[in-house]
């Protein structure tokens, strides 16, 4: 009985493989691709499904399903799926874990497949956007979203507190961190909240890069081996942040969870894709402005998200083909309405204005285009999760009123240095 | 050969009474046995197997490293503070939980109107979802949250509960005590009501006061329940996870990073599945040792009537 079964299976497998080899699409070789994502936004999903339907025109046997996972535990859930022997075929990847995924060998190389895809125009994808996702000249994930950090302002709240709005400061040529903190402090001392660094919550310290880059500060050296948390630029930046929180009440203190989009906050630093959270009922007078200039001048910070195909998947070639289709010029334009694109040809005011109806031409020009062109990516590192936790634990003692900033940052470096040196 | 030709009568049936009973017994325990093998013994064996390997999920490498993970455990600079946090948490929880449960049970073991309402009130958190319970507490414990709001009305400036190392650990303990004290209370209450009333009458006749009655009669007679609740509470305290994940994520610093949370970080956040497995073996050994010790203590402390 058993051997008969085996023979039958082998025979069927032979037939199916033979058919597959001739390129005939039969029901037997139906391919189901699964992509994990961290957005459950219905408009996003509708666009993805539309792209997946379009792929069926050339690949009638391929179905793509999109699996939204909660953002907070996204990477944990993804790696648990991999550990459990059930990896998705494709997955979104956060910039902070890019190094882990790109260096691990878990992802399939994309460059050759993309270059061989007709009409793909790989040269159009900017080198700056792909740098994080490239190893030894091979692209391992496509940066489908390069989203600048910017400041959303609630002019109603700011004016009610009698402070200067960012637009007024920009017009006067005084849009720098001193004045931005001053506006936030006036709002904060009026009983509302001044400035919220979204998602920071005294845990996700890397989001503070949207401020400290203005001081030219970095958490570690360019090669990732040396801690630079205790260097002067970071000490100066953190001193300014600490003063803004504990002396000037410009930012909410630890343990206070406040959402800008609820309408009671002066300003928030977040990515422009959060514009979708602006309230449609009881709207307020909002503005979107670039990050203020720091002591080192004007700067920009971007967050990135990539999408890659897992090399161990059973349908890795089809997954890479789908990725090439999903990120071709035509579909990139569709995605650009949610995710600022990495293609130079799409980085112009007309394309972005058509796809971002909420933003004015000025906002697109000042924030989106200049942000993507000049922005540095949030810090990332191999083994980021452990480094993140270690720094978070040491940094906790900074978030008290009487902290010694330089001493705490020195402790950060002594605890994280062994991990960086590995 | 002239043996009597009666083989049919001599062959005993396979299903003897003893075998029938045994088979029925096995069938009855089969569901439980299958569950234990699938969900306890096999995973336990696998975790031990994983603890001997370096397992990089992303690179899908799985290499035998022998005792390397155990050497890493001994050299882990974070382990002492993790074990200390676990110990403080467990001791604090057990003492607070058991004494509060016993106090409530004694207070509720009266014949008064309306006591059933209080019993229900104290028990209700036990049936509430743990995560929902903890999330509500996280709002209450925020710096500008409900508890500090109430303290402010009394003119007291409350601490930033979840952001100060000492108060963070205390907060997690108290949230857990309030969640589960009702269960121990009900167990104690049942035990208290099982104490024969004539013993108290006899003690009163002999001139024993209230406290002496409690010490000499109540405590010995409910000691089996004290043992049971202490085992449940100790084991439960070592498994605390959701409260930490929701309230403090192990912070501030490492002050609330207890063993289970540290294990979770290593395995599921840092992707060190091998080392995470080693930590779970350590947890297993600690729980087993504590349970064994408590079981041994019963001979000395627990009083059995018969």
Contact between A255 and B142 using a beta-carbon 8 Å cutoff = yes
HEC string of B185-213?
Answer: HHHHHHHHHCCCHHHHHHHHHCCCCHHHH
Q: How far apart are CA A216 and CA B101, in angstroms?
A: 57
Look at residue A353 in the predicted model and tell me its pLDDT.
Answer: 81
Q: Which residues on adjacent β-strands are paired with residue A142?
A: A307
**The total number of structural domains that make up chain B:** 1
* C-beta separation of B200 from B217 below 8 A: yes
Q: Which residues on adjacent β-strands are paired with residue A65?
A: A34
* C-beta separation of A66 from A87 below 8 A: no
Measured in residues, chain A has a length of 422
B60, B160, B162 ranked by CB distance to A106: nearest: B60
A76, A255, A383 ranked by CB distance to B162: nearest: A255
**Is B164 in a helix, a strand, or coil?**
coil
Q: How far apart are CA B212 and CA B203, in angstroms?
A: 9
Q: Is the pLDDT of residue B45 over 50?
A: yes
Look at residue A375 in the predicted model and tell me its pLDDT.
Answer: 85
* C-beta separation of A418 from A404 below 8 A: no
The domain that holds B214 is classified in CATH as: 1.10.3720.10
φ and ψ at A158, to 5 degrees?
-65, -45
Residue B2 lies in a domain: no
Measured in residues, chain B has a length of 306
Look at residue A270 in the predicted model and tell me its pLDDT.
Answer: 93
Contact between B271 and A79 using a beta-carbon 8 Å cutoff = yes
Q: How many CB atoms lie within 10 A of CB A19?
A: 14
CA atoms in the 13 A half-sphere facing the CB of B103: 7
Q: What is the pLDDT of residues A161-196, one digit of tens each?
A: 999 999 999 999 999 999 999 999 999 999 999 999
Q: How far apart are CA A184 and CA A197, in angstroms?
A: 12
Inter-chain Cβ pairs, chain A and chain B, closer than 8 A: 74
Give the largest Cα separation in chain B, rounded: 109
Question: ipTM of the predicted structure?
Answer: 0.79
Contact list, B251 vs chain A (CB under 8 Å): 203, 392-393, 396
Contact between A396 and B269 using a beta-carbon 8 Å cutoff = no
Q: Which residue range is the domain that position B142 belongs to?
A: 77-301
Among A389, A395, A387, A392, CA closest to A411:
A395
First to last CA, chain B: 63
Neighbouring residues of A402: CB distance < 8 A, sequence distance ≥ 6: none
Neighbouring residues of A52: CB distance < 8 A, sequence distance ≥ 6: A63, A64, A66, A322
Closest-CA residue of A relative to B246 is A72
User: What per-residue string of b and e applies to A115-152 under the rule 16 or more CB within 10 Å gives b?
Assistant: eebeebbbeebbebbbebbbeeeebbbbbbbbbbbbbb
Residue B47 lies in a domain: no
φ and ψ at B60, to 5 degrees?
45, 45
Q: How far apart are CA A113 and CA A106, in angstroms?
A: 17
Q: How far apart are CA A124 and CA A138, in angstroms?
A: 16
Which residue is associated with the tokens 């403080």?
B88
The average confidence (pLDDT) of chain B is 89
Mean pLDDT of B138-142: 90
Contact between B251 and A100 using a beta-carbon 8 Å cutoff = no
Contact between A104 and B56 using a beta-carbon 8 Å cutoff = yes
User: What per-residue string of b and e applies to A274-289 under the rule 16 or more CB within 10 Å gives b?
Assistant: bbeebeeeeeeebbbb
Q: How far apart are CA A293 and CA B2, in angstroms?
A: 116
Contact between A397 and B250 using a beta-carbon 8 Å cutoff = no
**Is A196 in a helix, a strand, or coil?**
strand
Closest-CA residue of B relative to A254 is B163
A101, A254, A392 ranked by CB distance to B160: nearest: A254
Residue B220 lies in a domain: yes
Q: How many CB atoms lie within 10 A of CB A314?
A: 10
Class for the domain spanning A29-147+303-376: alpha beta
Structure tokens at A28: 């037997």
Structure tokens at B225: 């329940």
DSSP code of residue A302: E
Contact between B59 and A83 using a beta-carbon 8 Å cutoff = no
Q: Which of B251, B264, B266, B273 is the best residue to mutate to test the A interface, defined by the most A CB atoms within 10 Å of its own CB? A: B251
Instruction: Give the E-state strand segments of A38-115 in sequence order.
Output: 62-68, 90-94
Among A190, A79, A148, CA closest to A342:
A148
Contact between A399 and B57 using a beta-carbon 8 Å cutoff = no
Q: How far apart are CA A253 and CA A188, in angstroms?
A: 11
Confidence of residue B5 (pLDDT cuts 50, 70, 90): low
**Is A154 in a helix, a strand, or coil?**
strand
Among A335, A329, A341, A419, CA closest to A382:
A419
pTM tops 0.80, yes or no: yes
Contact list, B160 vs chain A (CB under 8 Å): 253-255
Number of H helices, E strands in chain B: 15, 2
Contact between B144 and A101 using a beta-carbon 8 Å cutoff = no
Residue B17 lies in a domain: no
Q: How many CB atoms lie within 10 A of CB B48?
A: 14
Neighbouring residues of B56: CB distance < 8 A, sequence distance ≥ 6: A104, B62, B271
Contact list, A203 vs chain B (CB under 8 Å): 249, 251
Structure tokens at B269: 């956040």
Number of H helices, E strands in chain A: 18, 11
* Positions in chain A short of pLDDT 50: 1-4, 6-8, 10-28
Q: How many CB atoms lie within 10 A of CB A93?
A: 28
Q: How far apart are CA B93 and CA A13, in angstroms?
A: 60
Q: How many CB atoms lie within 10 A of CB B184?
A: 26
Q: Is the pLDDT of residue B303 over 80?
A: no
Structure tokens at A80: 């648990």
User: What per-residue string of b and e applies to B91-117 under the rule 16 or more CB within 10 Å gives b?
Assistant: ebbbebbbebbbebbeebbeeeeeeee
Residue B45 lies in a domain: no
Question: What is the phi-psi region of residue A191: left when phi exceeds 0, alpha when psi lies from -120 to 50, beta otherwise?
Answer: left
Look at residue A280 in the predicted model and tell me its pLDDT.
Answer: 83
Q: Which residues on adjacent β-strands are paired with residue A90?
A: A35, A309
Helix axes B219-238, B273-301, angle to 10 degrees: 170
Contact between B253 and A106 using a beta-carbon 8 Å cutoff = no
Confidence of residue B39 (pLDDT cuts 50, 70, 90): very high
Neighbouring residues of A9: CB distance < 8 A, sequence distance ≥ 6: none
Residue B52 lies in a domain: no
Contact between A397 and B253 using a beta-carbon 8 Å cutoff = yes
Contact list, B254 vs chain A (CB under 8 Å): 393
**Positive/negative CA dihedral, B276, B281, B284, B289:** negative
Structure tokens at A363: 């906002």
Q: How far apart are CA A253 and CA A227, in angstroms?
A: 26
More confident residue, B42 or A25: B42
What are the CA-CA distances from residue A343 to residues A99, A126, A330, B303 (Å)?
A: 22, 6, 11, 78
* C-beta separation of A71 from A38 below 8 A: yes
* C-beta separation of A296 from A216 below 8 A: yes
**Is B299 in a helix, a strand, or coil?**
helix
Instruction: Give the E-state strand segments of A155-192 in sequence order.
Output: none
Residue B127 lies in a domain: yes
Q: What is the pLDDT of residues B177-229, one digit of tens each?
A: 999 999 999 999 999 999 898 998 998 898 888 888 888 888 889 988 998 89
């Amino acid at each position: 009985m058993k051997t008969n079964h085996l023979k039958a299976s082998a025979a069927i497998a032979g037939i199916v493989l033979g058919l597959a080899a001739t390129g005939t699409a039969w029901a037997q070789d139906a391919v189901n691709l699964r992509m994990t994502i961290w957005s459950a936004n219905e408009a996003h999903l509708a666009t993805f499904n539309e792209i997946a339907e379009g792929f069926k025109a050339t690949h009638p046997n391929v179905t793509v399903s999109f699996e939204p996972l909660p953002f907070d535990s996204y990477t944990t859930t993804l790696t648990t799926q991999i550990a459990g022997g059930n990896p998705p075929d494709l997955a979104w990847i956060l910039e902070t874990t890019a190094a882990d995924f790109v260096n691990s060998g878990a992802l399939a190389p994309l460059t050759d497949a993309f270059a061989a895809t007709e009409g793909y125009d790989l040269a159009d994808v900017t080198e700056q956007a792909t740098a994080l996702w490239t190893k030894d000249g091979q692209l391992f994930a496509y940066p489908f979203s390069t989203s600048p950090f910017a400041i959303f302002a609630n002019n109603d709240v700011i004016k009610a507190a009698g402070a200067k709005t960012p637009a007024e400061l920009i017009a006067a040529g005084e849009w720098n961190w001193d004045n931005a903190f001053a506006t936030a402090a006036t709002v904060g001392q009026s009983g509302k909240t001044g400035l919220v660094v979204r998602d920071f919550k005294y845990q996700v310290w890397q989001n503070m890069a949207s401020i400290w880059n203005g001081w030219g500060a970095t958490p570690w050296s360019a090669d990732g081996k040396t801690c630079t948390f205790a260097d002067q630029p970071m000490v100066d930046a953190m001193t300014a942040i600490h003063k803004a929180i504990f002396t000037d009440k410009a930012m909410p203190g630890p343990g206070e969870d406040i959402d800008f989009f609820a309408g009671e906050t002066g300003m928030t630093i977040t990515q422009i894709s959060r514009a979708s959270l602006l309230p449609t009922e009881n709207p307020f007078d909002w503005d979107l402005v670039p990050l203020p200039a720091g002591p080192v001048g004007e700067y920009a910070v971007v967050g990135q998200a990539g999408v890659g195909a897992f090399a161990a998947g059973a349908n890795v070639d089809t997954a890479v083909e789908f990725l090439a289709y999903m990120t071709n010029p035509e579909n990139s334009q569709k995605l650009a309405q949610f995710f600022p694109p990495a293609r130079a040809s799409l980085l112009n005011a007309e394309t972005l204005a058509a796809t971002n109806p909420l933003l004015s031409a000025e906002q697109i020009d000042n924030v989106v285009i200049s942000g993507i062109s000049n922005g540095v990516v949030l810090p990332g590192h191999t083994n980021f999760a452990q480094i993140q936790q270690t720094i978070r634990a040491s940094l906790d003692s900074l978030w008290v009123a009487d902290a010694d900033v330089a001493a705490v940052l020195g402790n950060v470096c002594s605890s994280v240095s062994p991990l960086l040196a590995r | 050969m002239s043996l009597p030709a009666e083989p049919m009568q001599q062959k005993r049936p396979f299903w003897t009474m003893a075998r029938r009973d045994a088979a029925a017994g096995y069938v009855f325990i089969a569901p439980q046995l299958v569950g234990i093998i699938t969900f306890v013994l096999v995973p336990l064996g696998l975790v031990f197997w994983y603890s001997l390997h370096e397992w990089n999920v992303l690179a899908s490498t799985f290499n035998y490293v022998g005792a390397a993970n155990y050497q890493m455990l001994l050299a882990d600079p974070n382990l002492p503070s993790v074990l200390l946090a676990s110990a403080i948490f467990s001791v604090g929880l057990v003492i607070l939980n058991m004494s509060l449960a016993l106090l409530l049970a004694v207070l509720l073991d009266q014949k008064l109107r309306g006591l059933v309402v209080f019993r229900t009130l104290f028990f209700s958190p036990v049936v509430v979802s743990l995560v929902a319970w903890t999330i509500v507490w996280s709002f209450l414990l925020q710096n500008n949250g409900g508890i500090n709001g109430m303290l402010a009305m009394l003119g007291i400036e409350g601490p930033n509960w979840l952001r100060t190392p000492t108060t963070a650990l205390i907060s997690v303990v108290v949230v857990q005590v309030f969640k589960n004290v009702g269960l121990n209370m009900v167990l104690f209450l049942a035990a208290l009501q099982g104490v024969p009333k004539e013993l108290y009458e006899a003690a009163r006749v002999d001139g024993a006061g209230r406290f002496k009655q409690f010490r000499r009669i109540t405590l010995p007679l409910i000691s089996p329940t004290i043992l049971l609740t202490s085992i449940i509470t100790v084991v439960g305290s070592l498994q605390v996870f959701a409260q930490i994940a929701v309230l403090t994520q192990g912070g501030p610093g490492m002050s609330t990073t207890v063993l289970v949370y540290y294990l979770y970080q290593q395995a599921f956040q840092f992707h060190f599945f091998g080392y995470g497995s080693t930590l779970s073996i350590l947890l297993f050994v600690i729980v087993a040792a504590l349970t064994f010790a408590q079981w041994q203590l019963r001979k000395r402390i627990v009083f059995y009537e018969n």
